[in-house]
Chains A and B, each alone.
Chain A
């Protein structure tokens, strides 16, 4: 069955917006409205997941061009059009986003008590904007979505967050905004140089080396903050700690990936020479992140902060993988992003489960949950192992592919990167040892109940996907394989050229 010409992609963006509008207009008794709003939000997000699955069915992994393209002319002066398209790079992220959003809404079913309507509205808005970011094929459209994502996230942290939510929200906003303003400058510069904002047209153009380097740096700043890379990572732990559970999930699961997506989508194909030129910088920052943040994660006393720091360490694999310019490295980076999207989401959800019961995230407060919540403990240990990168889980496939890529670049860098497999085991197992195992000495814990049906519905699919991706990763890897090969072509040519030149000299 094919649905030719049906605007599936814009439907995916418009539907949540429509849902948000609907929720906004709801009137009536508070309790009834809240209940209905939750249902509307859930059904809208589930429908969106269904649409995403349909687009997956429509998607042909043998093609590297954008598929299901739509274009509506907008600012004709700059040849700017509201254009959307799907390819092997964006499809995994679209699926991840549409999969995580219903889980987030389900997770906040009872835990959000104030301004429920506004909260759900923000989430649907967020989904639409994130999808727009991944689907945009025009620089201006991309930039608008990319920036607009900040707004609902800012409110989610700032309104429904913890005690220091205002500080965290501002830090998050300013950090990321400062980064992306440079990108705006770069986009304006590119547009005035080329006269179009279509990403397809730009990818074909080659800029002079001088230009490439400036543009590369501007884009890099913006994405590096999003990733986040060391040393611009300090907004992440604060944002995670203060954000409500589902905010953390969407932040770690999807928002961070916009950085890695940007690297692969813009830096590599548009500025191949500059990418090669700056690769050592990226290696250095990634390796520092892998070692440094893992050690910091070890000594944390707050569960969420620990997982946040571990995210930074895991993202180092992504940046490292991308700049190996090797098919395995790049595919590993893609896999790591999806895998981390599932694993860190699952871990944050697990924290949410106990936070809902006890309202604290302090590690020392918890003890011996295995006895009190056996099913929860099983899932927690599974997610821990996935985070540690045990073979059979998605984490292993991703990290191994990145290592396969990086060994082609340098042995000792690979060694340093591999060290984080040890430190990763230390901080995750140390967390498990303290929270899950042991004897519950804290009397307050004794009446904690095991996961409810709603929580099972949230956590089991994640566990399933992590295992499926660990045992048969082709499900994900095949989507992006050909596209990645295509992106690497110009870089391979450049590096061959430089090698030849050096040989001639």
Chain B
């Protein structure tokens, strides 16, 4: 019962608000949905306790979905350790975001619609994580995409919000198509999309080979690479990351729930879920590790130069997702899940904190117009400190445990690229500290750069917004400390949810790493902090000087490595031109003139010529008649018919 309740309560919230939202008062709608989702979170925690801690994994069969004689997929709810972790994360963060939204969206005219979307999103996300086959996972996968689309474009009167929503959907779709092709290949090999069946036929996958365009490729590699493109669409990895920063057009609670804590981690979850298959492909693992490292590095460099507070956190999310990806790449699935778990708390905290700042400063998001407000909003300031400490990996905070576990696993891994990834990871850690503290210093310290009217109205957020921050802060502090033991104890906790081949397993090695390796992340963090302090507290002119003395580098970073511009020139424009060409030149220029109109005209012309015969003059008819008679007579005479008669 509690299993079902944890999944379906958010759906009920969506249905109630969707049907009666306009009749309920805003506050009523808000409390109904918030209490339903809190209830779901309570059930979710119980599920986590039962399944992950006590080990009572269960599968519920709801009903059949697509079935044919050679294929079937059902609606199931699968609760094992992996999905229980996700259920816990999703329901708890979602409930906090619901409560927070009551305060944050207070003045918005369409609160019920907002909360309905949030409920819908939570439901899709839960369907995604509890899927027992890839098709249902895909259902949740595209469903969260829909919810994300609706929420990014929530303020649909803003042109930029609509553009961002559409961009998010289309870029995600590119990944989704690749994901779908991956599913199809899995079906070709195993004849099913059920996790149990796929994993039982793992030998078949490892022995299958295809040739594609003359290149022989392992089935496992092809599948993993296709799934990876799918995962990087959802998890905003380099190449398909372009939608995430724009997604900040949505209300801030959305950014916290969808674009930081839950949806964007779906890619990581999917790869971890598919770990038995991922393990088979050495090439696939290497590509995942490199892609993750590149993303962590890229997003870190961009985050340093951005001025919009939400965009900085968005790039930070992108960078942290890179960490999770390269953890997967070195087969440290438990470390990736651990970072996913802790990251959900502190990143949601940072986003909601940023929302509180934005709220306090009358919807200002530009950090250049903030500063010097820490005394006026002390609670928010304190919470942001906790979040930043956790993100930058301060000892004993959540991020410290998970990030260290990842970096140690990377160093210990025998993957050919692992040392390079380690170096990039350390650099990204330093950058994480730099941009996080830059954000803190620019936002709260220094001179107040907002105008006086705004400064006069700076106020602390109401309790309904502060309490969720507080709950998440507790998570950010303790999630690492307490869950560390669980996540790193292999079989006792995971119970077969993740598969690591023996030669990829680093669990033993990381206990015997040299001391400098284990201290490197902390050192990098401190370096980043000192740099930020020097540049934004001590020598505040330095950033500007750097930017003006290296304009090309600065512009390159500030314009996010010119990805958007590149895609516009290479993809959007040509496709549009092609569409016009097919329409004007193809349909209207070639097909119509030749086929229907052409044929019609030929008939027309022919008919016109024929019609000349019917001139209406008797003498013309008479001549034709005469000619006919003569011709007939001549023909009859020569053919000899006459004589026979």
Residues of A within 8 A of B (CB): 170-171, 174-175, 178, 231-232, 234-235, 237, 292-293, 295-300, 326-328, 331, 368, 370-371, 374, 381, 385, 390-392, 396-397, 400-401, 403-404, 407-408, 411-412, 414-415, 418-419, 421-422, 425-426, 429-430, 433, 436-439, 471-474, 477, 481, 485
Residues of B within 8 A of A (CB): 22, 63-71, 75, 135, 138-139, 141-143, 146, 149-150, 153, 156-157, 159, 162-163, 165-166, 169-170, 173-174, 176-177, 180-181, 184-185, 187-188, 210, 212, 575-576, 578-580, 582-583, 586-587, 591-592, 595-596, 599-600
Which chain A residues lie closer than 8 Å to B138 at the CB level?
391
Which chain B residues lie closer than 8 Å to A175 at the CB level?
595-596
Among the interface residues A295, A421, A438, which one has the most CB atoms of the partner chain B within 10 A? A295
Which chain B residues lie closer than 8 Å to A414 at the CB level?
181, 184
Which chain B residues lie closer than 8 Å to A439 at the CB level?
157, 159
A324 shortest CB reach to chain B, Å: 12
The answer on a CB contact under 8 Å between A422 and B174 is yes
The answer on a CB contact under 8 Å between A235 and B166 is no
Contact of B156 among A328, A370, A419 (CB under 8 A): A370
The answer on a CB contact under 8 Å between B187 and A404 is yes
Q: Would you list 5 pairs from A and B whose C-beta atoms are within 8 A, ordered by A residue?
A: A296-B586, A401-B71, A407-B184, A418-B181, A474-B64
The answer on a CB contact under 8 Å between B70 and A328 is yes
Contact of A474 among B67, B184, B188 (CB under 8 A): B67
Which chain A residues lie closer than 8 Å to B582 at the CB level?
292-293, 295-296
Task: Given A368-B156, A390-B146, answer yes or no on A401-B68 (Cβ-Cβ < 8 Å).
Answer: yes
A84 shortest CB reach to chain B, Å: 29
Which chain A residues lie closer than 8 Å to B210 at the CB level?
411
Compute how far the CA of A472 lies from the CA of B212 in the bound complex, rounded to whole angstroms: 36
The answer on a CB contact under 8 Å between B180 and A328 is no
Rank and list the top 5 A-B pairs by shortest CB-CB distance, nearest first. Answer: A391-B139, A295-B579, A437-B156, A299-B579, A407-B184
Q: Which residue of A lies closest to B67 (CB)?
A: A474
Compute how far the CA of A237 lies from the CA of B156 in the bound complex, rounded to whole angstroms: 30
Compute how far the CA of A174 lies from the CA of B587 in the bound complex, rounded to whole angstroms: 17
Contact of A171 among B65, B180, B181, B596 (CB under 8 A): B596
Compute how far the CA of A297 lies from the CA of B165 in the bound complex, rounded to whole angstroms: 20
Compute how far the CA of A300 lies from the CA of B576 in the bound complex, rounded to whole angstroms: 11
A405 shortest CB reach to chain B, Å: 10
Q: Which residue of B lies closest to A171 (CB)?
A: B596
Compute how far the CA of A433 lies from the CA of B138 in the bound complex, rounded to whole angstroms: 25
Which chain B residues lie closer than 8 Å to A237 at the CB level?
587
Compute how far the CA of A371 lies from the CA of B188 in the bound complex, rounded to whole angstroms: 47
The answer on a CB contact under 8 Å between B575 and A298 is yes
The answer on a CB contact under 8 Å between B596 and A328 is no
Compute how far the CA of A237 lies from the CA of B586 in the bound complex, rounded to whole angstroms: 14
B331 shortest CB reach to chain A, Å: 28
B316 shortest CB reach to chain A, Å: 28
Compute how far the CA of A300 lies from the CA of B427 in the bound complex, rounded to whole angstroms: 48
B576 shortest CB reach to chain A, Å: 7
Which chain B residues lie closer than 8 Å to A374 at the CB level?
22
Compute how far the CA of A404 lies from the CA of B579 in the bound complex, rounded to whole angstroms: 28
Compute how far the CA of A331 lies from the CA of B67 in the bound complex, rounded to whole angstroms: 10
Q: With A295-B578, A433-B165 given, name 14 new contacts (CB 8 A).
A: A175-B595, A178-B599, A235-B596, A296-B587, A300-B583, A381-B150, A391-B143, A407-B188, A411-B185, A418-B180, A418-B181, A439-B159, A471-B65, A481-B69
Compute how far the CA of A414 lies from the CA of B143 in the bound complex, rounded to whole angstroms: 23
The answer on a CB contact under 8 Å between B595 and A234 is yes
B592 shortest CB reach to chain A, Å: 5
The answer on a CB contact under 8 Å between B596 and A404 is no
Q: Which residue of B lies closest to A403 (CB)?
A: B184
The answer on a CB contact under 8 Å between B173 and A422 is yes
Task: Given A296-B587, A418-B181, answer yes or no on A425-B169 (Cβ-Cβ < 8 Å).
Answer: yes
Among the interface residues B187, B578, B582, which one has the most CB atoms of the partner chain A within 10 A? B582
The answer on a CB contact under 8 Å between B69 and A327 is yes
Contact of A298 among B174, B579, B595 (CB under 8 A): B579
Contact of B580 among A235, A299, A385, A474 (CB under 8 A): A299
Which chain A residues lie closer than 8 Å to B159 at the CB level?
438-439
A92 shortest CB reach to chain B, Å: 15
Q: Which residue of A lies closest to B185 (CB)?
A: A407
Which chain A residues lie closer than 8 Å to B580 at the CB level?
299
Which chain B residues lie closer than 8 Å to A298 at the CB level?
575-576, 579
Which chain A residues lie closer than 8 Å to B170 at the CB level?
422, 425-426, 429
Contact of B169 among A174, A328, A429 (CB under 8 A): A429
Which chain A residues lie closer than 8 Å to B150 at the CB level?
381
Which chain A residues lie closer than 8 Å to B173 at the CB level?
421-422, 425
Compute how far the CA of A183 lies from the CA of B595 in the bound complex, rounded to whole angstroms: 19
Contact of A422 among B65, B177, B184, B586 (CB under 8 A): B177
B414 shortest CB reach to chain A, Å: 33
The answer on a CB contact under 8 Å between B166 and A430 is yes
Compute how far the CA of A177 lies from the CA of B192 in the bound complex, rounded to whole angstroms: 45
B135 shortest CB reach to chain A, Å: 8
Q: Which residue of A lies closest to B172 (CB)?
A: A425
Which chain A residues lie closer than 8 Å to B185 at the CB level?
407, 411
A311 shortest CB reach to chain B, Å: 14
B153 shortest CB reach to chain A, Å: 6
Which chain A residues lie closer than 8 Å to B177 at the CB level?
418-419, 421-422
The answer on a CB contact under 8 Å between B596 and A174 is yes
Compute how far the CA of A232 lies from the CA of B600 in the bound complex, rounded to whole angstroms: 14
Which chain B residues lie closer than 8 Å to A299 at the CB level?
576, 579-580, 583
Which chain A residues lie closer than 8 Å to B143 at the CB level?
390-392
Among the interface residues A327, A370, A421, A437, which one has the most CB atoms of the partner chain B within 10 A? A437
The answer on a CB contact under 8 Å between A404 and B64 is no
Task: Given A407-B187, A425-B169, answer yes or no on A401-B174 (Cβ-Cβ < 8 Å).
Answer: no
A445 shortest CB reach to chain B, Å: 14
Q: Which residue of B lies closest to A299 (CB)?
A: B579
Which chain A residues lie closer than 8 Å to B586 at the CB level?
292, 296
Compute how far the CA of A237 lies from the CA of B587 in the bound complex, rounded to whole angstroms: 11
Contact of B595 among A232, A326, A381, A404 (CB under 8 A): A232
The answer on a CB contact under 8 Å between A231 and B591 is yes
Compute how far the CA of A414 lies from the CA of B68 in the bound complex, rounded to whole angstroms: 20
Q: Which residue of A lies closest to B575 (CB)?
A: A295
Compute how far the CA of A235 lies from the CA of B595 in the bound complex, rounded to whole angstroms: 10
Task: Given A295-B579, A418-B181, A473-B66, answer yes or no on A328-B71 (Cβ-Cβ < 8 Å).
Answer: yes
Compute how far the CA of A178 lies from the CA of B70 in the bound complex, rounded to whole angstroms: 40
Task: Given A368-B156, A392-B139, answer yes or no on A401-B66 (Cβ-Cβ < 8 Å).
Answer: yes
The answer on a CB contact under 8 Å between B162 and A437 is yes
A332 shortest CB reach to chain B, Å: 9
Compute how far the CA of A328 lies from the CA of B170 in the bound complex, rounded to whole angstroms: 27
Contact of A328 among B68, B139, B153, B599 (CB under 8 A): B68
Compute how far the CA of A414 lies from the CA of B579 in the bound complex, rounded to whole angstroms: 21
Compute how far the CA of A59 lies from the CA of B575 in the bound complex, rounded to whole angstroms: 48
Which chain A residues lie closer than 8 Å to B71 at the CB level?
328, 401, 404
The answer on a CB contact under 8 Å between B64 and A472 is yes
Which chain A residues lie closer than 8 Å to B599 at the CB level?
174, 178
The answer on a CB contact under 8 Å between A391 and B142 is yes
Compute how far the CA of A401 lies from the CA of B583 in the bound complex, rounded to whole angstroms: 30
Compute how far the CA of A422 lies from the CA of B595 in the bound complex, rounded to whole angstroms: 30
Which chain A residues lie closer than 8 Å to B166 at the CB level?
429-430, 433
Compute how far the CA of A404 lies from the CA of B64 in the bound complex, rounded to whole angstroms: 18
The answer on a CB contact under 8 Å between A390 and B142 is yes
Compute how far the CA of A485 lies from the CA of B174 in the bound complex, rounded to whole angstroms: 34
Which chain B residues lie closer than 8 Å to A403 at the CB level?
180, 184
Compute how far the CA of A296 lies from the CA of B153 in the bound complex, rounded to whole angstroms: 26
A155 shortest CB reach to chain B, Å: 20
Q: Which residue of B lies closest to A425 (CB)?
A: B173
Compute how far the CA of A295 lies from the CA of B577 in the bound complex, rounded to whole angstroms: 9
Q: Which residue of A lies closest to B113 (CB)?
A: A374
A305 shortest CB reach to chain B, Å: 9
The answer on a CB contact under 8 Å between A477 and B591 is no
The answer on a CB contact under 8 Å between A438 and B184 is no
The answer on a CB contact under 8 Å between B68 and A481 is yes
B180 shortest CB reach to chain A, Å: 6
